[in-house]
Amino acid sequence: MSPFPRAVAPQVAQGVSCYLAIACWLAMAAGGASANELTLAEAARRAVDSAPQLEASRAAIEAAAQDLYRAGRLPDPVLAIGFDSLPISGVDAFDFDAEPMTEKTIGLRQALPARAKRAAQRRVAARTVELAQVDAEIERLGVARAAAIAWVDVWSAQRELEALGSLRAQAQLAARLTRARVAAGGSALDALAAEAGVLEVDGEIAEAEGAAGEAMAELRRWIGGDAVTIAESAPDFGRAPRPEGAALAALDRQPSLRSAEARVASAAAAVDAARAERRPDWDLTASYGQRSGFDDMLMLEVGVSLPLFAGSRQTPGIAARAVERRAALAAQESLRLELTARIRAAYARWEALRRQVSIHEQVLKLARDRSAAALASYRAGGELRPWLEARRDETIAHRAHAWHLAGLGRAWVDLAYSFGETMP
């Protein structure tokens, strides 16, 4: 006959089912690891290869390249067909042959914008292509960073689940010991407390499983496909991808700062284009005419625009573009200061998390030793409560260590993908 009340038995069965589920989850991960493990770098690469927003960036580059191809070219010629001196009243109305002065003409007109204007158009288009390319690089690093953070979250959740599985095995061992004591005439209170300890671990496991499922869903968002096997080994998060001094020295090569630089260049090209508006444009017209009873005629006409009112037309446009260029320069300098502060803050955050992980590793070791000693004492005939308290503290230490590992991994990803010249 079972030494536990009937109300406890379903909870014990539920706890066993929960443990079997997490054991199967970990076994699947371990079983497939050798066949197709997904590393952090591979997750980032797969995300970059499949992210739809990067296709939009590539389309923007292609569109800008097409605009560059046609920039600065001559406009299309204009075909002109007409007539002159056609009667519209009297008996000869709309009769092309009645009046000798009636002339039918056909001609071509070609606009010839100033060479400086066409060159400015090409420079503006070239800066647009450069800006699209840099923005695509920023988007690429953002996608890689998001996938890498999702990988870190899955990896840290797996480490937490493994630790909780080990703690559950200890809790089950204590429960078996208490059942043996109850069978020998011991207190049933200890047995109930031990079973409650198992269920507490089950609750922690259920919460960790939910976090792992959410993290896996986010990772699959970036890499696509079904659930994947995460590699047990991770990059050395305790070692920065590059020294802080190197990241600061490469500040001008940061994609976001290069984007600001491209915007400044684009604004400068717009100033040149506005100045070119003061140059006169030319146009050439050639037409062929026929008159009844007269020889055919050819007409050639050359026109030139006269920018006589530059003070009220071209000059304000030049001033406006110059102000926009100054604004772009100010934004670039502001971004430089912001990036410098962000790099220093990111390295400070990573260093603090690295120290916290190191300290928590020592705390976790002490918690394990205390829990093992308390369990050994209980097996030798001691009280159960010290072990329950030690096990609870070890669970808290394990979860805190997993959270700090995740935080350190995210901080490392920030250093690798937010402030890198290119994707690692």
CATH code assigned at 299: 2.20.200
Check residue 305 and give its pLDDT: 86
Q: Do 240 and 415 meet the contact criterion of CB atoms below 8 Å apart?
A: yes
CATH of the domain at 31: 1.20.1600.10
Same domain, 218 and 191: yes
Q: Which of 259, 247, 222, 268 is nearest to 136 (CA)?
A: 259
The token pair at 181 is 């004591």
Do 206 and 85 belong together in one domain?
Answer: no
Does residue 268 sit in the same domain as residue 306?
A: no
* pLDDT winner (highest mean) among 200-204, 247-251, 341-345: 341-345
Render pLDDT for 288-312 as a digit per residue (tens, 0 to 9). Answer: 888 777 778 888 989 888 888 877 7
Last residue of a domain, one of 312, 330, 364: 312
Q: Which of 280, 324, 320 is nearest to 302 (CA)?
A: 280
Quick one: pLDDT at residue 27? Answer: 39
Mapped onto helix, strand or coil, the DSSP state of residue 290 is strand
pLDDT given at position 392: 82
* Residue keyed to tokens 């038995």: 9
**How many Å apart are CA 120 and CA 7, to the nearest integer?**
84
- Same domain, yes or no: 306 and 399: no
Last residue of some domain: 259, 288, 312?
A: 312
Q: Is the pLDDT of residue 223 over 90?
A: no
Structure tokens at 274: 């506005």
> Is residue 144 one of the residues assigned to a domain?
yes
Are residues 120 and 106 located together in one domain of the fold? no
Same domain assignment for residues 21 and 105: no
Asked if residue 422 has pLDDT above 70, the reply is: no
Structure tokens at 414: 């920030």
- Do 132 and 99 share a structural domain? no
Beta bridge partners of 82: 105
Query: Is residue 98 domain-shared with residue 221, that is, in the same domain?
Result: no
Helix (H, G, I), strand (E, B) or coil at 69: helix
Q: What is the pLDDT of residues 93-120, one digit of tens each?
A: 777 777 777 788 899 999 988 888 888 8
Mark whether 53 and 96 lie in a shared domain: no
Instruction: Give percent of the chain above pLDDT 70.
Output: 89
- Buried (b) or exposed (e) across 234-268, using 16+ Cβ within 10 A? bbebeebbeebeebeeeeeebbbbbbbbbbbbbbb
Residue from 290, 288, 298, 294 nearest 104 by CA: 290
Residues 191 and 102 in one domain: no
Angle at 132 between CA 130 and CA 136, to 5 degrees: 115
Task: Determine phi and psi for 298, rounding to 5 degrees.
Answer: -125, 135
Q: Are 213 and 153 in contact (CB under 8 A)?
A: no
Strand 103-112 relative to strand 37-38, pairing: unpaired
Instruction: Mark whether 283 and 154 lie in a shared domain.
Output: no
State mean pLDDT over 345-371: 90
The answer to whether residue 1 is domain-embedded is no
CA distance 381 to 98: 132
The more confident residue out of 414 and 52 is: 414
pTM: 0.72
Query: Which pLDDT score is estimated for 6?
Result: 36
Domains of the chain: total: 2
Q: Does 4 map to a domain?
A: no
> Does residue 301 belong to any structural domain of this protein?
yes
Lowest mean pLDDT among 32-36, 39-43, 337-341: 32-36
Look at residue 132 and tell me if it is in a domain.
yes
Q: Does the pLDDT value for residue 68 go beyond 80? A: yes
User: Containing domain of residue 292, as a range?
Assistant: 75-112+279-312
Lowest mean pLDDT: which of 18-27, 218-227, 345-354, 359-368? 18-27
